[in-house]
């Protein structure tokens, strides 16, 4: 299925709730091109595979679009890029590209947070002119740690947060229980669930979290964090594989790019360049 421009109705819903859900947007053959890569990706002994605290299970694989052809093609997919270009009315670049594994039994929590809080505090991204767009790589149900959103919470702007370096293997600027309780009294909690191939678009100020995965089902998902080109980050404190430093606008491939073999450049195929491995 290709996707036209977001409709007036969808734009209104996005403005009100801070996210849009597109069930089963990608077909099985398209998803197979991605999921067939994951065992190999997670088996790589590289810094781009962050493991769960005290465990072998991969929590997050970073920046596969720079060294894996299928994910490189996904990173230029019009169904992911075009809606965000439309919302910002300008070109976008890849601020962050990740696969979160949320492995069966081992997948740990993501505390309550706003992504823009971290991007602003750590990377000096000027404005919340960046979006997340995610695709489920597994079916997502109520048991395998679905994302939890507080609808409308993106309207709060940047909320005060504390830097949590303890709870999980990944440091995050997180929100306190009092703030969450009051936001949830207002907006409730919603968890989009659906088949692999479903897509979620969400605002960088939308408050979200996910629980641990005690089920026997993985909950892998791929996230593109796309930033308006004019809003690029100003500080390179985090390594380039976590906070991208390539600000040229993404050029989309044709809509069939997951099932046709388009040629893409893989700048890190011979290893991650030393300057991308650390903060400056
Ligand atoms: C995130 O907030 O960046 C990821 C949350 C999740 O994958 O559950
Ligand atoms: Mn997040």
Q: pLDDT tens digit string along 28-40?
A: 999 999 999 999 9
Does the CB atom of residue 137 touch ligand 1 within 6 A? Answer: no
Does the CB atom of residue 210 touch ligand 1 within 6 A? Answer: yes
Distance 240 CA to ligand 2 centre (A): 18
pLDDT score recorded for residue 3: 73
Does the CB atom of residue 173 touch ligand 1 within 6 A? Answer: no
pLDDT score recorded for residue 31: 98
Q: What is the mean pLDDT of the chain?
A: 97
Mean pLDDT, to the nearest integer, of 46-75? 97
Q: pLDDT tens digit string along 83-123?
A: 999 999 999 999 999 999 999 999 999 999 999 999 999 99
pLDDT score recorded for residue 4: 76
Q: How far apart are CA 124 and CA 245, in angstroms?
A: 12
pTM for the full predicted model: 0.97
Residue 241: band (very low, low, confident or very high) from pLDDT cuts 50, 70, 90: very high
Closest residue by CA, ligand 1 atom 1 = 110
Does the CB atom of residue 62 touch ligand 1 within 6 A? Answer: no
Looking at the CA of residue 132, tell me the nearest atom of ligand 1. Answer: 3
Kindly list the strands in the beta sheet with 208-210, ordered across the sheet, starting from the edge strand earlier in the chain.
Answer: 147-149, 208-210, 110-113, 172-174, 162-164
User: Residues of the chain with pLDDT > 90: what percent?
Assistant: 96
Does the CB atom of residue 100 touch ligand 1 within 6 A? Answer: yes
Residue 2 has pLDDT above 70, yes or no: no
Closest residue by CA, ligand 1 atom 7 = 100
Looking at the CA of residue 113, tell me the nearest atom of ligand 1. Answer: 2
Residue 167: band (very low, low, confident or very high) from pLDDT cuts 50, 70, 90: confident
List phi, psi (to 5°) of 132.
-100, 140
Does the CB atom of residue 60 touch ligand 1 within 6 A? Answer: no
Residue 212: band (very low, low, confident or very high) from pLDDT cuts 50, 70, 90: very high
Please spell the DSSP secondary structure of 201-245, one letter per residue.
EEETT--EEE----SSS---EEEEEEEEGGG--S---S-TTTS--
Q: How far apart are CA 193 and CA 242, in angstroms?
A: 27
Residue 58: band (very low, low, confident or very high) from pLDDT cuts 50, 70, 90: very high
CB 149 within 8 A of CB 140: no
């Amino acid at each position: 299925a290709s996707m036209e421009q977001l409709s007036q109705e969808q734009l209104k819903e996005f403005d009100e709730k801070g996210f849009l859900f597109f069930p089963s947007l990608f077909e099985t053959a398209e998803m197979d091109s991605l999921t067939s890569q994951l065992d190999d990706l997670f088996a790589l002994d590289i810094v781009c595979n962050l493991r769960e605290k005290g465990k072998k299970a991969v929590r997050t694989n970073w920046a596969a679009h720079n060294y894996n052809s299928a994910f490189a093609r996904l990173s230029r997919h019009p169904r992911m890029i075009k809606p965000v270009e439309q919302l910002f009315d300008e070109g976008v670049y890849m601020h962050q590209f990740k696969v979160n594994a949320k492995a069966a039994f081992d997948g740990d929590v993501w505390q309550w947070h706003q992504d823009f809080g971290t991007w602003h505090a750590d990377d000096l991204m000027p404005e919340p002119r960046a979006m997340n767009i995610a695709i489920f790589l597994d079916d997502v149900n109520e048991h395998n740690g679905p994302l939890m959103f507080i609808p409308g919470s993106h309207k709060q702007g940047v909320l005060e947060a504390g830097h949590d370096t303890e709870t999980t293997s990944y440091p995050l600027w997180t929100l306190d229980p009092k703030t969450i309780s009051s936001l949830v009294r207002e907006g409730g909690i919603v968890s989009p669930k659906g088949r692999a191939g479903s897509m979620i678009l969400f605002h960088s100020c939308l408050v979200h979290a996910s629980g641990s995965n005690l089920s026997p089902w993985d909950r892998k998902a791929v996230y593109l964090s796309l930033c308006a080109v004019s809003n690029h980050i100003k500080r390179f404190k985090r390594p380039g594989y976590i906070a991208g430093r390539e600000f040229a606008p993404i050029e989309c491939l044709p809509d069939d790019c997951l099932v046709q073999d388009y040629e893409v450049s893989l700048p890190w195929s011979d290893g991650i360049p030393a300057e991308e491995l650390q903060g400056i």
